[in-house]
Amino acid sequence: MSSSKKVTKSKGSNKKPDAITNALFVQIQREMPEASIIDTINGNVGLIDFKKTHGLFEETLLTAALNADLEKVAERILELGPELLDINHVNNSGETAFLLACKKGYKDIALTIAALKPKCVPDAESYTALMYTCTNTEMIDVTKYIIVHDICDIGHVNENGETALSLTLEVGNPAALTLLLDSGKSKPERIDPKTGVNLFIKTLLEEDVKTARLVLEKTGLKCDPLAITENNNITALMLCIPGRTDAKSDDWIAMIHALLSLAVETKNKDYVDVASNHGPSAFDLIFVYAEDSGNSIDARVVKPFLDYYYKYDLNSPVFLRNVDLMCRDLPLYRSILRMYPGKVLKKIVKRACSGVVPAVASTNRSTRKSNSSSRSPELQTARRVRTTRSTSKNIRTALEIPIVHATTPVDPADTGFNVDDPREPGLRMRKRRTMRVHR
């Protein structure tokens, strides 16, 4: 074993350094077996010039090995020590050894080079090492190291208008997304060149409410959540109105609360009531979606708007034109009352609906939908119909039920009312009827 080493060393001593270096490059270029290449390196360490460049693309032995996917060869070269290498060499494709390791997904090599504090330069396509690691979930440790040690420009924008954040959102890498948002340097307010909207609104357009919620929680106003799109006047608030009740409803409602709070914080009343190019505003859409789909309205979606309008914009025309729709929907009206525990708040809701006759017989959406089918095309486009209040001065008169005298005695238990409980409407109705009979 020792004699063979002496022979190898003796043979190597008779060779010129350039010849050995060139021969090693040829081995790498031809992608010969890694064990064979590593043997050549081990037998000629003192004679190989690892900083010399080769070929049309001006590769060093390290960048050549990485480009040839010879991971073990690259690891062996790095083991020889940084003093023998030109870590920051850039080949004619704009690639450094660090960028190539990140691009190829070689985590251990990338971390080894990262510890040497390499320069982070974009390649010929204007992508940085961070951009490559953010799109590879298996490179999260490298992504974290880059961000924590500020190796790359986190907010770098390439020639396509992409950033590390936009690419992360595109591929769906929650761990990298959190790291980027926490850095405070990821430029979440940037306009996405493909959609023409900021990244926050883009996530809502894609109905990725959980990601949008994370972006908003981490960046607040910095992600420009109250932006209005230039093309169609759409807002994030409009996009958060759920068309149906499903597993995501709680997230959508949380987003509505957050956006309305930001509107209050920035004193931006216009944002809440702005109408899209299609006509409806955010509050309008709650009733439009219900009308179009025939689904019942979730009172939890209505409540944050009621809280906002009562406190900050009671005379909003958008609010006022929808009050009757809300009050006539008896199940919705009752649900809203249950959501306000205090007597004072209940009175506010009842006062808003005073003079409006609840459409008891037409509370289901099918009746409302059939009425909408007879509207003119202009009203269909506007997605809004003006409602009128009842001219009746006494709403009780409108709801009064005719008295029917039973021919045979009826057991109170058979009426469906609990006559023992004075809070039951059955008892109050019975009292009122009794008074009328004795007059």
pLDDT tens-place values along the chain, 439 residues long: 333 333 344 344 556 888 999 999 999 999 999 999 999 999 998 899 999 999 899 999 999 999 999 999 999 999 999 999 999 999 999 999 999 999 999 999 999 999 999 999 999 999 999 999 999 999 999 999 999 999 999 999 999 999 999 999 999 999 999 999 999 999 999 988 888 899 999 999 999 999 999 999 999 999 999 999 988 899 999 999 998 777 788 999 999 999 999 999 999 999 999 998 888 999 999 999 999 988 899 999 999 999 999 899 989 999 999 988 888 899 998 898 888 877 777 777 777 777 665 554 344 444 444 443 333 333 333 333 333 333 333 333 333 333 334 444 444 444 333 334 333 444 333 433 333 444 4
Determine the distance from the C-alpha atom of residue 314 to the mean position of all C-alpha atoms in its chain, rounded to a whole number: 31
Domain count for the chain, please give it. Answer: 4
- Enumerate the β-bridge partners of residue 228: 235
Angle at 129 between CA 156 and CA 210, to 5 degrees: 70
The pTM is what? 0.72
Residue that is last in its domain, among 85, 119, 153: 119
Same domain assignment for residues 184 and 47 = no
pLDDT at 379: 30
Same domain assignment for residues 92 and 175 = no
Same domain assignment for residues 111 and 158 = no
- Enumerate the β-bridge partners of residue 198: 191
Cα–Cα distance measured from residue 87 to residue 61, given in angstroms and rounded to the nearest whole number: 11
Residue that is last in its domain, among 185, 202, 223: 223
CA distance readout (Å), 120 to 67, 90, 296, 436: 18, 10, 55, 89
Same domain assignment for residues 96 and 42 = yes
CB 281 within 8 A of CB 273: yes
Burial class from Cβ neighbours inside 10 Å (0-12, 13-18, 19+) for residue 309 reads buried
Cα–Cα distance measured from residue 290 to residue 363, given in angstroms and rounded to the nearest whole number: 12
Same domain assignment for residues 210 and 275 = no
Cα–Cα distance measured from residue 245 to residue 296, given in angstroms and rounded to the nearest whole number: 9
pLDDT at 340: 83
CA distance readout (Å), 346 to 55, 309, 329, 335, 338: 81, 15, 16, 11, 8
CB 188 within 8 A of CB 219: yes
**Phi, psi values for residue 386, rounded to 5°:** -75, 135
CA count, 13 A, side-chain hemisphere, 396? 3
CATH no. for residue 97? 1.25.40.20
Residue that is last in its domain, among 200, 223, 246: 223
pLDDT at 71: 97
Same domain assignment for residues 263 and 278 = yes
Same domain assignment for residues 237 and 383 = yes
Range of the domain at 183: 125-223
Same domain assignment for residues 53 and 100 = yes
Same domain assignment for residues 250 and 377 = yes
Which structure tokens are listed for 122?
Answer: 């974009």
Same domain assignment for residues 169 and 26 = no
Same domain assignment for residues 199 and 305 = no
Same domain assignment for residues 344 and 249 = yes
What single letter denotes the amino acid at residue 332? L
Cα–Cα distance measured from residue 237 to residue 235, given in angstroms and rounded to the nearest whole number: 5
Angle at 283 between CA 282 and CA 288, to 5 degrees: 90
